[in-house]
A and B are shown apart, each in its own frame.
Chain A
Amino acid sequence: MSLPGYNFAYLDEQTKRMIRRALLKAVAIPGYQVPFASREMPLAYGWGTGGMQVTAAVIGPDDVLKVIDQGADDTTNAVSIRRFFALTAGVRTTERTVEATIIQTRHRIPETPLTAGQILVYQVPQPEPLRKLEPRETETRRMHALAEYGLMHVKLYEDIARHGRITLSYDYPVLVNGRHVMAPSPIPSFDNPKMHRSPALQLFGAGREKRIYAVPPYTSVESLAFEDHPFHPWKANAPCGLCGATDSYLDEVVVDDRGGRLFVCSDTDHCTTRRAAGHRGAAAGHALAGAGE
């Protein structure tokens, strides 16, 4: 079942073949940015057009789709994209990480470890990790080609010189398969270790910048650092107010106009599952938890 007048998953078959060719190349060279002929999508640039095109190219009628935005299943962007594919591809959608075969994500990796056979599709605003250091595309491509990545460490050096530690907390550059430096999209550095040797296939789509790249299953993904200043994933120093989790990435939410704030799991599925299993945080029952409680 899909929308009459539209091809399955919105894009025409030629376009999907073009994207799949780019994806194959990306999987063959982990971390390498493959240019592709990005199409206009019925969504503004910056809202996940790259991720949507990748999802449209890999999705089949039997897939189960989950879409998250900053970890949450219930935000506007996530709801719209999920409904888009429910409408145009007629696929089953879910909010449960374990049920999904394809997870399109903006800026998070789910807390529940991914398994073999799952595909994680990232929405990427800026695929070039060296962009802020070297504005010329011709030059950055040459730097990737020759693996000249000293400049990336200059940025980290500056961080330590200024703040005493690496303060970069998101879009933290990684070295994929020991060869290409890659922008992991603006996921928190907390999520970086989850990419390392993940059994799931990770695909990255940047619609405006017209680039696709990938990390195949069980590929090494190493966060850049110095020997005497090792990589340190950043996380708020508090348990989740709703479910009490101490090992998940937290959002800080302002709850009133008197300075009250609450730390809650950014991954809503993780939090809901834990609460259903009886875990209780210090602020359990807060209105933030939704109507269910």
Chain B
Amino acid sequence: MSDAPLLSVRELTVRFGRTLAVDRASFELWPGEVLAIVGESGSGKTSLLRAVHGDLPADGGRVQYRLDDGAPVALDALPEPMRRQLARTQWGFVHQNPRDGLRMSVSAGGNVGERLMAAGARHWGGIRAEATEWLRRVEIDPARIDDPPRTYSGGMQQRLQIARVLVTRPRLVLMDEPTGGLDVSVQARLLDLIRRLVSDLGLSVVIVTHDLAVARLLADRMLVMQGGRIVEAGLTDQVLDDPQHPYSQLLVSSVLQA
């Protein structure tokens, strides 16, 4: 781990009209770290993630990102072309619903290759080889490279979305409930895959989830959100085993034991 945070969020606030969705959220993400944001529905975790990514305009606060050369940049001060280029190459966003992150009418190979082509790759064979390699890495049969994602199962679609995001080797990946809507065995396999890819590629990840087990399995550190506020932050095991805030205690005690 390096001695400067990759991402630093200060007092970030998001409002929807009179509703305060995110209330002065601050956190830091260090290189190679996986940070989980947990909380119930409506607690503002997805809004926080989208505001960090720049999809939602923030009503206050700032997000600072450290470029590969070590220079910190404030995202709201970055001109749009640069911000979009950053989002296309160094960042990745994994949506809860793979339909939001994939082009459903374009073949799997085209989906994985899109970010490469956006980054300027113009050699068809090279793009295809890279796409094939990534399908293999996310455990999709490369023989299905020309099938459109709508012919894929839910779990495969989610793995394809991850391949599509990781193909440009981003440094920072934001995931919004990547395992939501999948049944438990598929979920377990996907978590396994994410954990392996994260450690292989040395990714820094912010993962939003309502599932504490997901946080336990993947995250180094976690934040607990309630009503738009971060109410507790700490090492994952520490928060889950010894929650301090009443809401965290409630959350941990609400988990059903099979």
Contacts and interface: CB of A to CB of B under 8 A. Distances in A.
A34 to B, nearest CB: 22
Interface of B: 80-81, 84, 103, 106-107, 109-110, 113-115, 117-120, 122-128, 145-146
B146 A227 contact: no
A227 B123 contact: yes
> Nearest 8 CB-CB pairs, A to B?
A150-B118, A226-B124, A153-B117, A150-B117, A227-B123, A146-B81, A154-B110, A158-B110
Given A150-B115, A158-B107, A229-B124, 6 more contacts: A146-B84, A148-B118, A151-B118, A154-B106, A228-B124, A228-B125
Interface string A147-160: 01011011001101
Interface string A2-31: 000000000000000000000000000000
B82 to A, nearest CB: 10
A277 interface: no
Interface of A: 146, 148, 150-151, 153-154, 157-158, 160-162, 226-229
Contact of B124 (A148, A151, A157): A157
Contacts of B145: 161
Tell me whether chain A's interface is mostly helix, strand or loop, or mixed.
helix
Given A146-B81, A148-B84, A227 B122 contact: yes
Contacts of A150: 114-115, 117-120
B106 A158 contact: yes
Given A151-B114, A154-B114, A146 B80 contact: yes
A148 B122 CA distance: 14
Contacts of A160: 124
A226 B84 contact: no
Contacts of A146: 80-81, 84
Contacts of B80: 146
A157 B117 contact: yes
12 contacts: A150-B117, A150-B118, A150-B119, A151-B114, A151-B117, A153-B117, A158-B110, A161-B109, A161-B146, A226-B124, A228-B125, A229-B124
A161 B123 contact: no
Nearest to B82: A146
A151 B116 CA distance: 10
